[in-house]
Amino acid sequence: MKNKYPLLIIIFVLISSLIFPQFADKNYYLVDSIVTKELHPDNKKILDSILPLYHKSKSDSLKYALLETIVENSADYGFCERYNTLLYNLTKSALTKKNISEEKRKVCSRFYATALIYKGLIYSDKGKVKESLSFYTEALKIFEQLDYKVGIGYALNNIGAYYHRTGELNEAIKNYKRGLKINEDIGDERGVSSLLFNIAGIYDSQGAIQQALEYYNLSIVKFEKIGSTRAVAYCLNNMAAIYKNQHENEKALELIKKCRKVFEKEGDKVGVAFCLNNAGALYRDMGNISLALQYLQESLALGQKIGNKSRVANAAVNIGVLYDGIKRTDSALIYFKEANGLYNELEDKEGLASCLNNIANTYLREGRLTEAEKASLSSLEIGQQVGVPELVKEASESLYNIYKQQKKIDKALSMHELFIQMKDSIQNEKTRKESIRSQFQFEYDLKAVSDSLEFAGIQETKDLKIKVQVAQLEKEETLRLALIFGLILVVVLAILIYRSYKLKSKDNILISSQRDLLEQKNKENEILMNEIHHRIKNNLQIISSLLKLPQQQISTETAKEVMNESRERVLSIAIIHKLLYESDTKKLVDTKKYIAELSGEITKHFSQKNTLEVTTDVESVLMDVDRMVPLGLVINELLLNAIKHAFTNVQKPAIEIKLQKEESNIILKVKDNGIVDISEKIREGGSSFGIKLIYDLAEQMNASVDVFYLNGTNFVLKFKT
């Protein structure tokens, strides 16, 4: 009987395939057999929309694309694995056919490589981290052969994540940044946002808090732009962990609660477990032991339920730390050892090193010195391997205490020296950041001294500026009188036209003479306007020359530099009046001509070796003097700031200036290729005269300012037309 049933089933399938041709597709059962099971709402939604199209399609390429859509939008890895396996098998089988065309081979290879990426992700989720790398690298080779840049960026992101997880941080950030460059070039916002998030994680693990927060904030902007709510929540959760480490507990707790609500709404159980774990650890540090234990046990139980080893391990460590803190060492060791085994399976070296150190300290408190030494040495070895100073510091401190109790003086001293070295290394990083903030204050004080010097030594120049302003007002008053006089002439002309109706012969002569007179007055007005702009330009150039004269009596380079910058500010305004003098309207300046001339003047005065390359991509926009003057001064300050600070050890310094009109807004972008990050300096505002001037001018223009560092310092100014 046992042999009879399989034969009957085969006969039934053959007959069915003849009567109902659609059942001849063996994949029909594989695709549809899951619909009767309990599904996550997101999974059911994607199946309801994709499966009808899949069954109607006669194109293999379209079927691959539909399966890829299901895989990419899966709400969990179990569901993802089912359909990714189908995609993987179909494409792999197609590629083995001898008669496949080159075009079909390329299409099939692209989908096969995508299936490899997800195969690696599924292996990684199951704890088979080493196996995942082979899938990512194979996929990368295929994408590179196809020159499919979206796939290349995606593969590099996952390779970076593998190295990040295994503690090889240099390899991780190298792959992340390579992927980021590719995604930026092709405008893949989703890829850019994901890589910014991953780079932030690298900086976070290295203790570079400021850089981590900057990259998390950048990724939040990108994730919000593409509508990825869940990803925003992960960013906020990681930022909460940073605030927790900075002892800003209330702020951290607020972010964690907000993220948990998002994850619950999205049905993301991994995210919920993550939030529960962080909340529990935070309540533990705040001294609320009962609430901490409740949250941590919930996190551990949820992690076990969904089969996520990473969540279980993290919760177990935190429970162990809690029990260790209340001197329940037996319970603490049980949870630490459970976490230790999981970190081993996951190949999470940072987690493993930290967990081993917790075990060592618990053994030390119980007086089990041999076991404590063994655990600490393992922790130290892994900490040095991954290059995380905090892990090395903790392990060396534990070994110092162990060797001291064992009376091994030489080893104790050696570990104490290593502890001090790591502590100093961590402190030096903090000191470096503090010195940057101090530098801003120094520049502010220096500017105050320079202003005092300028007031004491160049009062005559200021008086001349006042005289120029008075002369300009007088010219404007003359212009107004001329316009009034012109209006009177128009009225008189209208009266004469009325009279000409009755006195035709005489009025024709009179009208002709009045027309000539009016044209003459208009020409005089135009000449007067030209003269005003010309004189203003000349006067400003005179002021610039006068600013240069006192430099011969100034001995300090800093003061000379301040004088040079003042000259450039005056010249930036002079260029505006020069262009007004040359324009047809006499009222509006062409941004394209102005920015090109301004950048040329600045680089001519300040680029000593003439190696600086300034490229402009400026849309031609006609702008009045009231908007152009502050805009020109902002560009002037940004160029001077980049020339002074951004190009240390840069062989080919370059600055890009872009100005575009988008709907009712004008957007100015200034970017340098400096390896020195001066974005924080500009963003803080008010630290130096030039930076304060930028923000004052932006406020005057009702403009928004955005500054960040990404392959150089990027400055974005946005204001209404």
pLDDT in tens, 325-363: 888 888 889 998 999 999 888 888 888 989 999 999 999
Mean pLDDT of 282-311: 89
The band of 140, judged by pLDDT with boundaries at 50, 70 and 90, is very high
Say if residue 145's pLDDT is above 90. Answer: yes
Distance between CA atoms of 502 and 68, rounded to whole angstroms? 88
pLDDT at 448 over 80: no
Domain co-membership, 543 together with 621: no
Let me know if residue 603 belongs to a domain: yes
Helix, strand or coil for residue 613?
A: strand
Mean pLDDT confidence for 416-420: 84
Show the DSSP H helices in 613-688 as ranges. 625-645, 679-684
- State the greatest distance between any 2 C-alpha atoms of the chain, in Å, as a whole number: 128
Element (H, E) at 167: none
Which of 599-608, 655-664, 665-674, 701-710 is predicted with the least confidence, judged by mean pLDDT?
599-608
Whether residue 402 is found in the same domain as residue 380:
yes
CA nearest 165: which of 213, 208, 194, 198? 198
Residues 539 and 617 in one domain: no
Q: Is the full-model pTM beyond 0.75?
A: no
In this prediction, residue 114 has a pLDDT band, given cuts at 50, 70 and 90, of very high
Q: Is 609 exposed, middle or buried (0-12, 13-18, 19+ CB in 10 A)?
A: exposed
* Same-domain status, 625 and 647: yes
Instruction: Report if residue 572 sits inside a domain.
Output: yes
Range of the domain at 365: 350-433
Looking at the structure, tell me whether residues 552 and 592 fall in a common domain.
no
* Main-chain phi, psi angles of 228, to 5 degrees: -95, 85
What's the whole-number mean pLDDT along residues 594-598?
A: 86
Evaluate whether residue 182 is within a structural domain: no
Residue 413 — left, alpha, or beta (φ > 0 → left; ψ -120 to 50 → alpha)? alpha
Helix (H), strand (E) at residue 618: strand 613-618
pLDDT in the model for residue 553: 57
The residue from 92, 127, 147 where one domain ends is 147
Closest CA to 269 of 291, 309, 299: 299
What is the model's pLDDT at position 656? 94
Residues contacting 142, CB < 8 A, separation 6+: 109, 110, 112, 113, 116, 151
Q: Which two tokens stand for residue 441?
A: 């204050």
Please count the other Cβ atoms lying within 10 Å of the Cβ belonging to residue 384: 17
Q: What angle do CA 543, 546, 547 make, to 5 degrees?
A: 90
Same domain, 656 and 706: yes
**Percentage of residues in the chain having pLDDT higher than 70:** 72
* Final residue before a domain boundary, out of 383, 416, 433: 433
Give the pLDDT score at 505.
Answer: 54
Do 625 and 716 sit in the same domain of this protein?
A: yes
pLDDT of 497 reads 60
Residue with the bigger pLDDT between 396 and 645: it is 396
Residues 564, 492 share a domain: yes
Please indicate, yes or no, if residue 552 is contained in any of the structural domains. Answer: yes
In the predicted structure, residue 91 carries a pLDDT above the cut 60: yes
Kindly tell me if the per-residue pLDDT of 558 is higher than 70: no
Q: What are the tens digits of pLDDT across the range 559-579?
A: 666 666 676 777 777 777 676
- Chain length of the chain: 721
Residue 166 lies in a domain: no
Number of domains in the chain: 6
- Quick one: 372 and 302 in the same domain? no
Residues 569 and 471 in one domain: yes
Give residue 369's pLDDT: 92
Average pLDDT over the chain reads 77
**Higher-scoring residue by pLDDT: 557, 151:** 151
**CA torsion angle for 453, 457, 460, 465 (degrees, to 10)?**
-30
**Tokens 């399976």 label which residue?**
345
- Reduce the secondary structure of 546-567 to three states and give it as a string: HHHHHHHHCCCHHHHHHHHHHH
Regarding whether 518 and 469 lie in a shared domain, the answer is yes
User: What does the alpha-carbon distance between residue 170 and residue 66 come to, in Å, rounded to a whole number?
Assistant: 37
Query: Burial level of 84, CB count in 10 A (0-12/13-18/19+)?
Result: buried
**Which among 347, 382, 402 is the end of a domain?**
347
How much is the pLDDT for 462? 40
pLDDT tens string 462-482: 444 444 444 554 555 565 565
Cα separation, 163 vs 169, in Å, equals 6
SS3 category, 58:
coil
Asked whether residue 138 carries a pLDDT value surpassing 90, the answer given is yes
Give the model's pLDDT for residue 203: 83
Does some domain include residue 272?
A: yes
Residue 555 has pLDDT above 90, yes or no: no
pLDDT band at 294 (very low <50, low <70, confident <90, very high): very high
Tens-place pLDDT, residues 251-274: 888 888 888 888 888 888 888 898
444 domain-assigned:
no
Contacts of 668 (CB under 8 A, 6+ apart): 631, 634, 635, 657, 658, 659, 715, 716, 717, 718
Q: Do 401 and 359 have their domain in common?
A: yes
- CA atoms of 619 and 47, how far apart (whole Å): 47
Report the pLDDT value the prediction gives residue 89, as an integer from 0 to 100: 92
In a domain, 177, yes or no: no
Q: Residue 355 sits in a domain of what CATH number?
A: 1.25.40.10
Per-residue exposure over 658-668, b if at least 16 CB sit within 10 Å of its own CB, e if not: bbeeeeeebbb
Residue 622 DSSP one-character state: E
For residue 518, name the pLDDT band (cuts at 50, 70, 90). Answer: low
